[in-house]
Structure 1
Amino acid sequence: MANLATSQRLTRVFYGATTLVVTAFIVLPLVVIVWMSFFANKILAFPPSGYTLDWYRRAWETDVFRDGLIVSLQTGLFATLASLLLGVPASLALVRYGFLGRELVNTILLSPMIVPGIVGGSALFIFFIQVEILTDVQIAGTTAGLLIAHSLIALPWTVRLVSTSLIGMNRSVEEAAASLGASALTVFFRVTLPIIKPGIIAAALFSFVVSFIDLEKSIFLVGPGKTTLQIAIVNYLEWNLDSTIGAVAAVQIALIAALLLITDRYAKLSRAF
């Protein structure tokens, strides 16, 4: 018994130490970036000569960052709305109805989540070029093309989170409403929708996050004079190495962390992966 207790204690210590190391490996780079954003040095160096908030002011005054933030916010909001309009009905059909090819449709809807971003971005770019060749309608390099791509990025997460909510709800409530004479639309809007609302809110927030942080697809599809915040960061780092980039990254970290915490409030993200 003593040997068993010792073994269990060592196992707990090992798992605890491993968890601590992995957490530190993930969190410490973020902490360093936020810390770096306050350095007073003109060029990044350790240890810092002092601390300042000027880099945050400079980041906002830099046109490429400010414009990139606006484009990313607009694109993320559109992608969120589009993914909800398409994803909620699709989730309802996939969960509630059996039809020929349902598994294939489900796979297609979730495929953007599986395909590497760089592969998906290049594939979309080639597809848009082929459409332009056949129809003389330009999509690549336009705002419309960027919005379509980001909607595809967000759609799988909406389908997954809303489907999870639908699977977990008690259908007897819907059946009771239908037995009392409520139409299918009334049941959906008055019963189903309020019950799965936390999943829809989580889907909206998470869809916005995955669109906002996307780089791989955006880099293929942005047009002249338009750039997302992620591309602006990459371009800036090519020629500059100062704490402006740390300030931009720190704001992103704070925004995304807040959205993920709100998302987890409505739907535990650990259950969605």
Structure 2
Amino acid sequence: MEDVNPIPFTFRVIAAVALLVLLVPVGIVVLAGLNSGEYLTFPPEGFSLRWIRNFFVSPTFLPAFKLSFGLALATTLISTFLGTLASIFLTRSTSRSKEFLRAIFFLPVVLPGVVLGIALYVFFIWSNIGLARSLTGLIIGHVLVTMPFVIATVTASLVDLDLSVEEAARSLGASPIQAFTKVTLPLIAPGISAGSIFAFIVSFGQFELTLFLSTPNLQTLPLAIYSSLRYAFEPTAAAAGIFAICLVTVSTLISTRLSNLKKLLSRR
């Protein structure tokens, strides 16, 4: 008689329920975006690509999507660079202040987005340096929010890194920069890739902070969807959500493929 362990089955049930909770809202958005009716309703009255086509000619949603994509891309590049440098310092530094700096770096994750948005807006106004309600100020705010995710993933990769490999490269004549770029960087590349994808997704969907730092000319996709649901309530907002879901899904799949490819090349 086989012994049945109930713990794995319980975990499978919990995982299935959690997955269902995550996927049901996504499915509702997709079906609402394919609705053939005049208003955003569920269940849909029928299925049509009318609102998908309307998204591509919309003077609101398409520019907002492009702005969110460009903003997320710029934020990802800056957050990945700064977050990687911060991770290296926090992992290898012997300074007593590194724990304080770690708390400062992760503070934007702990603080509510509304509080952080108000604080940044007041600071930009008070400093009078022209960052309030500007694209540069918006990028700075998004970098502060997304950089902790890069620091977390890259730090996890650096903690498991065997420093003797880098020391061996140094002993063979490699400079510190060469040892880092040719030995350390390829080993922590999966952590950097994961952190950059997290940064992109968080920046693309950031709402609370963007609400305080944006202007009518700098309306991101979350703000455009929010405004549409307040006044128009048409299915174009759900259609825009479909493209946002597709973008996040594609970026996650690309990150997974790149990580697997790097692991395969490292084994060879």
TM-score by length of 1: 0.87
Say if 2:240 is the partner of 1:244.
no
CA distance in 2, matches of 1:174, 1:143: 40
Q: Is contact 2:32-2:42 (8 Å) kept?
A: no
Give the corresponding residue for 1:56. 52
The CA distance in 2 between the partners of 1:46 and 1:111, in whole Å, is 39
Match of 1:185 in 2: 177
How many angstroms apart in 2 are the aligned matches of 1:93 and 1:46? 51
Identify if the C-alpha distance between structure 1 residues 117 and 265 changes in structure 2 by more than 3 Å, giving closer, same or farther: farther
Query: Residue 228 of structure 2 contacts residue 234 of structure 2 at CA under 8 Å; is this kept in 1?
Result: no
Q: 1:231 aligns with which of 197, 210, 223?
A: 223
Could you say which residue in structure 2 is the equivalent of 1:271?
Answer: none
Return closer, same or farther for 1:187/1:20 CA change in 2, 3 Å cut-off: closer
For the residues of structure 2 that align with 1:159 and 1:31, how far apart are their CA atoms? 32
1:260 to 248, 252, 266: 252
Percent identity between the aligned chains? 34
Tell me by how many angstroms 1:235 deviates: 0.4
Structure 1 position 21, deviation (Å):
3.2
Tell me the CA shift for residue 203 of structure 1: 1.8
How is 1:1-273 mapped onto 2 (pairs within 5 angstroms)?
A: 9=6, 15-132=11-128, 137-265=129-257
Letter in 2 for 1:35: L
What is the aligned residue count? Answer: 260
Moved over 6 A (4+): none
Report the AA paired with residue 49 of structure 2: L
Report the AA paired with residue 257 of structure 1.
Answer: T
Look up the SS of the partner of 2:60 in the other structure: helix
Kindly state the Cα deviation for residue 18 of structure 1 after the two structures are TM-superposed. 4.1
Change (3 A) 1:40 1:192: same
- Whole-angstrom distance in 2 between the partners of 1:97 and 1:231: 41
**Counterpart Cα distance in 2 of 1:46 and 1:215:** 24
Q: Aligned in 2, Cα 1:194/1:18: closer, same or farther, shift over 3 Å?
A: closer
Q: String of CA shifts for 1:205-242, please: whole Å, max 9, x gaps.
A: 22111111100100000124221111000001011223
The alignment's TM-score, normalised by the length of structure 2, stands at 0.89
CA distance in 2, matches of 1:86, 1:47: 45
Q: In structure 2, what is the Cα distance between the partners aligned to 1:195 and 1:12? A: 32
**Structure 2, unpaired ranges of 5+:** 261-268
Q: CA RMSD in A?
A: 2.2
Conservation of the 8 A alpha-carbon contact between 1:174 and 1:187: yes
